Structure 1
């Protein structure tokens, strides 16, 4: 038999045996490559790697969630000047999230879990390929002249706001103290910055964030940021579609939308994964 035939036969036998082992247990959900284990006290998401595992008591009817720190990350979405700075009409509810978000960042780093910054950061090519609905949605006055890529002028006399949500512009950088956290974290290798060109940071066949997740075997994602019903929800939902564990952290998420929008996200996030608050997570991590 040809070498590749032998290799394929061996791989098939191993996968078949492992699949039978996994499927023989009615408390195991998934497949040989990606599975959860249901326990009497909740769920084990470590996929068989329990080294330094952490168990979080989340407010979910099905109990605790045990995670593998090396396979877990905090995803912070769109906490940018454009959405939060008061001189740009930013959301005060979003600004109020900053201290708790920083507490979460520090706790994740301390436990060896990565921090992802997933923000709008457009290029000239993105402008060439952007659908008309997005240009309309980000127009300030109903014309395309004030949408993506337009010059937003200056504020406070000397701050150049830059072109709307373009990569490297001041308006696209993290807001307030989050900017120092992001710069310091990236420099120290604990944090990673991913630009996106749609509401979802996981939209499309592959994105920079998804490639990083795959390369680093990260499977469990905690989500926060703005807006909870738009970019946070879109990124969480695409992550869920692609097979990642999704945990929405409510008290580091906000929106300018009516309360019903948050209610929809909370309801469906609990079906797709889990909902939590930082108060459910920080005591264990700290």
Structure 2
């Protein structure tokens, strides 16, 4: 029996009935026929050939504007939870200050047919069984394991059961303030989707619930905000970049309790891996 030898690109070309070229003649396309960006006169086209209802968003100089396909784009909100933000839990006031602008972004993305992802800590007892020691140490509030992940956080305001620390379904793990109503309403209406995570990154590992959803729905362009910008936001953005997604960091819906140098590092590298912008850059184009 004689078996012909095919390269992966040749196999894909045969299956798809097209000729897969890795480099286009004018060198203005980056990638290949299945996953590519195209240079434009003022920036980048990320629609991968599907320009239906495309939107061009201005990006700060010198990155260049980006043209996106709404059906394949999403806003990712990370860890805007009571545990990190509520004042009675010592939450970050800088994070709480992001809420109104974050809600404006949520409404604008929904209005343009783009999905909103809520990516939050939401542990199970199985997650605790496989959690590395370093994470238990990092989340201990008094230096002992008894106050770390999964521990009962007691009551606040006399009648609110805070629940077990960052466990799925607990009050401390739900979105903070008005964001909770936005999340519940968005999920009920089918515009928003909620994904639990068990590490800093919502894209950690070979596959996560969010990554599976992205693949099933052919979503390729992701806008990131939340807390902390240098930890869970950065970790998720970086893993998404490693896995081939377009990444845009939205600075003014992101914050951290870390020193300013930490944000500087994220801003510098996010601009190399994708784009940095503010809601003030994006919202006028979505209106």
User: What secondary structure does 2:230 align onto?
Assistant: coil
Aligned pairs for 1:1-286 (under 5 A) are 11-13=12-14, 18-20=19-21, 22-286=23-287
The answer to whether the 8 Å contact 1:154/1:160 transfers is: yes
Query: What CA deviation, in whole Å up to 9, does each residue of 1:226-281 have, x standing for no partner?
Result: 00000000000000000000000000000000000000000000000000000000
The answer to whether the 8 Å contact 1:60/1:275 transfers is: no
**Distance in 1, Cα, partners of 2:128 & 2:272:** 35
TM-score relative to the length of structure 1 = 0.95
Which contiguous aligned blocks of 4+ residues in structure 1 show a shift greater than 6 angstroms?
A: none
TM-score relative to the length of structure 2 = 0.95
The answer to whether the 8 Å contact 1:41/1:62 transfers is: no
The answer to whether the 8 Å contact 2:63/2:275 transfers is: no
The aligned length equals 284
**Distance in 1, Cα, partners of 2:11 & 2:151:** 57
- Alpha-carbon RMSD across the aligned residues, in angstroms, is 2.0
Give ranges in structure 2 of 5+ residues lacking alignment. Answer: none
Question: Aligned-pair distance for 1:23?
Answer: 2.9
**Distance in 1, Cα, partners of 2:62 & 2:89:** 41
The answer to whether the 8 Å contact 2:20/2:33 transfers is: yes
**Distance in 1, Cα, partners of 2:110 & 2:172:** 26
**Distance in 1, Cα, partners of 2:46 & 2:65:** 10
Query: What CA deviation, in whole Å up to 9, does each residue of 1:203-236 have, x standing for no partner?
Result: 0000000000000000000000000000000000
**Distance in 1, Cα, partners of 2:20 & 2:262:** 40
Distance 1:21 1:203, change over 3 A: closer
**Distance in 2, Cα, partners of 1:125 & 1:19:** 44
The answer to whether the 8 Å contact 1:227/1:256 transfers is: yes
**Distance in 2, Cα, partners of 1:25 & 1:183:** 48
The structure with the largest helix share of the pair is 1
Deviation larger for 170-179 or 54-63 = 54-63
Question: Aligned-pair distance for 1:134?
Answer: 0.5
The answer to whether the 8 Å contact 1:15/1:32 transfers is: no
The answer to whether the 8 Å contact 1:60/1:274 transfers is: no
**Distance in 2, Cα, partners of 1:75 & 1:21:** 30
Question: Aligned-pair distance for 1:12?
Answer: 3.4
Deviation larger for 17-26 or 179-188 = 17-26
Question: Aligned-pair distance for 1:142?
Answer: 0.8
Distance 1:10 1:106, change over 3 A: same
